[in-house]
Structure formats: structure tokens, C-alpha cells
Structure 1
Amino acid sequence: MTAKTVRRSDNRSALMEKIMRLAPAAAALSLLFAVTASMSAAGERADDPRATALVAEGRQLLNGGDTQAAIDAFEAALAVDPAMTSVFLDLAEAARSDGLQGKAIRYYREARERDPDNFAAISGEGEALVEKGAMTAAREALSELEERCGETCVETRQLAAAIEARPAVMTAEASPADNGVTQN
């Protein structure tokens, strides 16, 4: 072997060693960029036009008083576009109009699970809790809204008004004693 061949072989070895050292880091960075790009693109996703049309139809039906047909339209919209979180708010409103506050709360919580910053879902859940009589939980929702959205936020004011409008319920412990009752 000549000295020139040995140097070329050493240069190749050094080059291969550098490539092998940097390859995992380059692969990790490439993966990070790919995931970041796909997540940011997913956040900008537009709703399916068919689902949007079904939601509009459901809202018309709900405003017309046909709650079950509205629920069917909302559920169909969710089947068409399962990632459409706003449908859960419409389903919750339909459940509330049927007097099913527990079901409405479940829909609001699903919307919040998908989008924790959905103030309409927090407010709606709080209003459903008020309708159900769970005032402590409703006040907790109000407190969360005040922290995250502010006291002048539309959703905060709506929930505060719902809590304020709820008449006070007298508990058995707070009822006045009946003077006509005697002990045996």
C-alpha cells in the first residue's frame, strides 16, 4: 500500500465516523420538524363542508323545537367529521333544551377535553350545573372562567348571570323550627 492509499482510507474512516456520530441527531431533528409541521397543519384544519351543513340544519331544527331531529343532524355531522369539536356544544344545547342536564354536562366535558381553552364549553357546563342545582360546581366553573378568561369575558358574564338568577334553595337544616311540634 502506498502512503496516498493509506491517507485516503484514513480520510474515509474519519468521514464515516463523523456521519455515524451525527446521523442519529439529524434523524431526531428531522422527526421533530416533521411532527411539528404536521401538528401545526392539523390545528389549521377546516371543518368538512358536509358536517357544517348538517350542523346548520341541526341548529334550524333546534330553533324550530324539533330537538330529536336536531340531535340526529348533530350526530350525523359528528359521524362525517369526528374532529369537529363545536358539534359537542350543539349537542349539549339540545340536551339542555330536553331537560337532560347530565347528558349536556357530559357533552361539554367532551368539548373541554378536546379543547381545554373552550370558554363556551366551560360556561355551558356551568350553566347546566346551575340548572341541575349543583351550585358549588357551577361556582367552581365560574372561578375557572374568571381566572382564565377574565371577569369581563362574555362567557364569564353569562355564567355569573345564570348563577345570580338561580333562586336560593332552603335546606332542611336552614328551615325554621315549628313551634307546634312537641317531643313525645
Structure 2
Amino acid sequence: MRFGPVAAALSLALAVQASIGHAQQYQVDPRSAALVAEGRASLDAGDTQAAIDAFEAALAVDPGNTQVYLELANAARADGLQGKAIHYYREAQERDPENLAAISGEGEALVEKGALSAARQNLERLESLCGETCIETVQLSAAIDRGPPVMTAEAVSADDEVTQN
């Protein structure tokens, strides 16, 4: 009984020391990096579906690569799929909670969907992480100031004649 607290403290110290020794910098798979480069080239060329295919292949090769989720989100936004983009941005944030690009991108996608209050929460989070002058904060603030895109409907002239079925 006398050695119980000492043994518990010693085992805790050894466990913490062992976990520190195993922590390493994440290494991106070179095949994944090549597929991401291919996807970026496709996205720059305007072929969003080919870009999405390349990014999904990169994700299959290296599911731990957070950058792939950001690229998928950007491709989804380019394709007009803001809901899917928000999903990918949140996946990136689960892997790296302080990823400024993911927080900012999610905020911009939220603005595009018209969810300004949620986008403002992302802006507040960015301001607390990196301040008011970092690039991501400035970009999201500008997107919020612009507001959601306005959709217009074409005017349709009513027929003068009404028929009965």
C-alpha cells in the first residue's frame, strides 16, 4: 500500500515520456503529393471533375493528408457545392483544429450559402487565433462584407389567354 502512489506516479511519468518519444512530423506520401499537383492543374484549367477525381485518389493513397481535404473543398466550391465544401473544411479542422485556411474557407463557403452568423463565428475564431491583420481574417471579413451572392430570376411574361382544362 505504501508504494501505490509512488508506483502510479512513476508509471504516469514513463507513459508520458514514451508518448513524447513517438511523436513525429507527418510525412506526406509522394504519390499523394503528385495527385494533388495533378488536381490543382485540372482545377486551374477549369476541369473541376478531373480535379475532384485526382484529389479523391490522393485521399485514398494518403488519408491523413489534411491538405487534400482543403483541395477537395476548394474544388467543391468551384463546382458550386458549398455544402460539400463545408464538409471537407470541417474534416480538415478535425485533423488540425487551428488550420487557418480551413476555418477561413469554411467561413467563405458559409457566406456563399447565406449563413452569415455562422461565418461571423469563424471570423471571431480566426481573430482569436491569428489577429485581425492575417490574410485569412482579412479575406473572410471581406467575404462577409460582400455578403452572399444575389440570385436573380428572369421576368416571365404572363400569357394573356387563360385556358380551362
**Do both share a fold (TM > 0.5)?**
yes
Identity %: 63
Normalising by structure 2, report the TM-score. 0.82
Q: Judging by fraction of residues, say which structure has more helix.
A: 1
2:111–2:147 contact (8 Å) kept in structure 1: yes
Verify the 8 A CA contact 2:112 2:149 in the aligned structure 1. Answer: no
Aligned-pair CA distance for 1:66: 1.0
For residues 149 and 32 of structure 2, the distance between their equivalents in structure 1, rounded to whole angstroms, comes to 42
Structure 2: runs of 5+ lacking an equivalent: 151-165
- Which residue number corresponds to residue 31 of structure 1? 15
Give the match's secondary structure for 1:117: coil
For 1:86 and 1:168, locate their aligned partners in 2 and report how far apart those are by CA, in whole Å.
27
Report the equivalent of 2:105. 124
2:61 aligned partner: 80
Task: Tell me how large the CA RMSD over aligned residues is.
Answer: 2.2
Structure 1 unaligned residues grouped into runs of 5+: 1-18, 170-184
Q: 1:167 to 1:108 in 2, by over 3 A?
A: closer
For 1:36 and 1:22, how far apart are their aligned partners in 2?
21
For 1:152-163, what aligned pairs fall within 5 Å after superposition? 152-163=133-144
Residues 2-44 of structure 1, C-alpha deviation per residue, up to 9 Å, x if partnerless?
Answer: xxxxxxxxxxxxxxxxx99976655543332111211x21xx1
Aligned length: 149
The one of the two structures with greater contact order (alpha-carbon pairs below 8 A, sep at least 6) is: 2
Separation in 2, partners of 1:78, 1:55: 9
The higher radius of gyration belongs to: 1
